[in-house]
Each structure stands twice: as C-alpha cells, then as structure tokens.
Amino acid sequence: MIIDATLPETGRLAHVPSAAAPDRPQAWRQGWRWRPVPLAPWLTRLLLSWPFPLALLALWALAARYEWIAPQVLPAPQVVAHTFADLARSGELFDHLKISLIRVFAGFALGCAAGLTLGVAMGLSRVFKDYVYPLFRAVSQVPVLGWLPLLMLLLGIDETLKVVLIAKAALVPIAMNTYKGLENVPAQYVEVAQVFGLSRRQLLWKVVFPAALAPIWNGIRYGLTHAWLALVVVELLASSEGLGFMIVYGRQLFQLDLVLAAVVVVGIVGYLMDKTLALIEARLLGWRRAGF
C-alpha cells in the first residue's frame, strides 16, 4: 500500500526480548516467551508465516461451505480461484491489466519528470525556491482526490484525466523529496569539494546528486505507490476498462468473486512495483552500505 518507506531503515533494529543472561532479573519474561527449536532463523520465519493465512483460508472455506455467510457477500475461495483462472485463461485479465499499467506508467513518467525538474530547480536555486515553494506547498495541501472533480470538469473523463491525475499524485512526493534531499546535503561535503577545487558541474554530479540520491529515490518510491493509488481511484470512478473497472463491474453485478480476483491482482501489482524499485535502490545505493 502506501505506508512503506515512511521511516528510513535505521539499521539498528534491536531485538526487544533479548536473550537473557541467567543472572539477570528476567524471569518475568521467560514465562511467556516462545523458545524456538534451533532451526535456521529464515526457516522458522518461513514455517511460522503459513499457519495464520492458511487458518483464515480454512475458516473462509468453511464459512462458505456451511453457508454461514451468504455467497453473494463472500463467495467460496475455490469460486474466486476458478474465476481468477477463467479470467487469466480468456486473456481478459491481462487486457485490463495492460491498460492499467500503461496508464500508470504514462502518468508516473510524466509526474516523475516534472517532479524531478521542479525539485532540482527548487533545491539548486534559492531564488526559484522563494518564488515557487509557497505555491507548491499550498497546491499540495489539497489531496489528489480534491482535484478530481475540478479535473473531471476541465478534462472530461477520458485518458487525459487519468494520466494527469496520476502524474499529479506522483509529482508532489517526488518534487518534495528531491528538494529536501538536495537542501539537506551536508555543508561539509560541499566544503570538501571546494577544497578539491571541483567545478560546479563536478560538484553537482560527483557530490550533491549522489549525496541526495537516497531521499530522491525514496520520493520516487512514494510517487509510484501514490500513482498506483490514484490509478485505482480514478478507474473506480470513471473508466470503462482497467483493473478498477473490473472491480466496479463485479460489484455492480454482485459478482464478488470477480471483485476479489481483481483486488488480489491490484495487490500483487502494487507489491511487485514496490519490490522492483527496492531492488533497483539496492543496486543504486549499494555503494553507501559498503562504508559501514
């Protein structure tokens, strides 16, 4: 969803219930602490992560089997799986998915380009920042959804609206993080660069941009999750194709299996997009960790 990357990894995630030395007054903790079988930690984690979702699934299946809940309200899991397989086989799912992805990438590319330009301009030029920043802050106070009725009136409800809204959703966090990142480059770095006699261009490319890359990338990740959020909303409200439309359509026909299948796809795509950016981040910023 949207809450990722709110706090930068501090790298000091301490284990709260720490291993107790015998002479410490820790008896009050040992009573309830679960003592793991000495398995590899990743294996323990893997094994432990399954019972809960499986139990939920079983409960869901039982609820559907014995009709504790009406099937119109919660269809059986096998029905959802079946619908999902049908949609995938007929290609319908991929058609909708393709349309949604094209929209989100068009909007994101636009918003990313504009956001980076704006952020870099504000971060590098004091004068430009003085002029633009107050207006930018005021504009970003109105959430994406506040713009929707206005944009619908101005642009109609076709592709332009979707791309513009998605671009707006991506622009704000990217511009903000880029600007803050550039502003917060430690003065010492710049001083060192001056001592070395770097030209302005070298200063920017060798010192300032690499130093600000982490917050900028964070902004880009935020931007993409916001873009995906905006896409779903705008497709729910005004669209005749795409994943959001599938959800609305299923809802109107009271085919909750369709709705659930589409929701799962929305979740998977959001997850994959964020994961991809995280992987690129690890590559791009890998050099930073080497120091520690």
CB 243 within 8 A of CB 96: yes
Tallying the residues shown for the chain, one arrives at: 292
Alpha-carbon gap, residue 7 to 209, rounded angstroms: 21
132 makes contact with other proteins (CB under 8 A): yes
CB of 197 to other proteins, least distance (A): 27
| Residues 231 to 250 in contact with other proteins, rule: CB under 8 A | 231-233, 236-237, 244, 247-248, 250
Candidates 25, 197, 286, 291: give the one binding other proteins (CB under 8 A): 25
CB of 136 to other proteins, least distance (A): 9
Return the structure tokens found at 88. Answer: 């995938």
Candidates 17, 71, 91, 186: give the one binding other proteins (CB under 8 A): 17
42 makes contact with other proteins (CB under 8 A): no
Candidates 37, 38, 66, 135: give the one binding other proteins (CB under 8 A): 135
Alpha-carbon gap, residue 98 to 91, rounded angstroms: 11
Candidates 73, 187, 195, 290: give the one binding other proteins (CB under 8 A): 73
Residue burial 278-290, b: 16+ Cβ < 10 Å; e: rest: eeebeeeeeeeee
Cβ distance to other proteins smaller for residue 104 or 193: 104
Residue burial 237-264, b: 16+ Cβ < 10 Å; e: rest: bbbeebbbbbbbbbeeeebbbbbbbbbe
Alpha-carbon gap, residue 265 to 86, rounded angstroms: 14
52 makes contact with other proteins (CB under 8 A): yes
CB of 45 to other proteins, least distance (A): 5
24 makes contact with other proteins (CB under 8 A): yes
| Residues 154 to 213 in contact with other proteins, rule: CB under 8 A | 154
Candidates 97, 112, 148, 220: give the one binding other proteins (CB under 8 A): 148
CB 44 within 8 A of CB 31: no
